[in-house]
Amino acid sequence: MATEMTMQEKLDLAEKNLEILLEWVGRFDNKSPVVLGIDTGILGLLVTFAPQVKYWTSWMIIFSILSVIGLGMSFLFVYFSSYPQTKGPRKSLFYFGSIAKNSFAEYQQAFLKRNIEEHLIDILEQCHRNSEIVNTKFWCLKWAYRTLIFSVFTSAFTIYLFRSVILVL
């Protein structure tokens, strides 16, 4: 028969959960610069291979626009996923924004007065807020990848069109 967890066991599990969520932020931080670098590289290739505007065909214009829109969207998704989300629980003793609003003496006093149940609730609030943040980050990263893939194909064809004009000249 299942027994109910003690308050300490709940606290330990909540702290472990928070630790795992914070690791997910680190995983995101390792992935987003890759997308940003590829976006920048493709944009650089487009600029490098672009012939003078007087040689552009309607297909070059269409595919250039599609490429720039895709790359722009990918840049925006990386930006929105990387932009610091600093909204957090107001009275948290874990969230840096809440802690910084108090003097050290106020923070110390609040921490020392805290009971284990309040501590557990604070950790659970942090788990929930960090889950929201990680969810947003990975949603944006997923769309950054999708728009990047679209841009790879449109940019490759655009560069092919650019090169065909350069080879004729």
> For residue 1, what is the DSSP state?
-
Say what the pLDDT of residue 69 is. 98
What is the chain's pLDDT, residue by residue, as a tens digit (169 residues)?
Answer: 678 889 999 999 999 999 998 888 888 888 889 999 999 999 999 999 999 999 999 999 999 999 999 999 999 999 999 888 888 777 888 888 888 888 999 989 999 999 999 999 999 999 999 899 999 999 999 999 999 999 999 999 999 999 988 666 5
CB 49 within 8 A of CB 162: yes
| Helix intervals (H) in 50-103 | 58-82, 96-100
CB 110 within 8 A of CB 99: no
CB 92 within 8 A of CB 129: no
Task: Write b or e for each residue in 64-96: b if 16 or more Cβ atoms lie within 10 A of its Cβ, otherwise e.
Answer: bebbbebbebbbebbebbbeeeeebbeebbbbe
- The closest of 10, 29, 39 to 117, measured between CA atoms, is 10
Burial category of 141 from C-beta neighbours within 10 Å (exposed 0-12, middle 13-18, buried 19 and up): buried
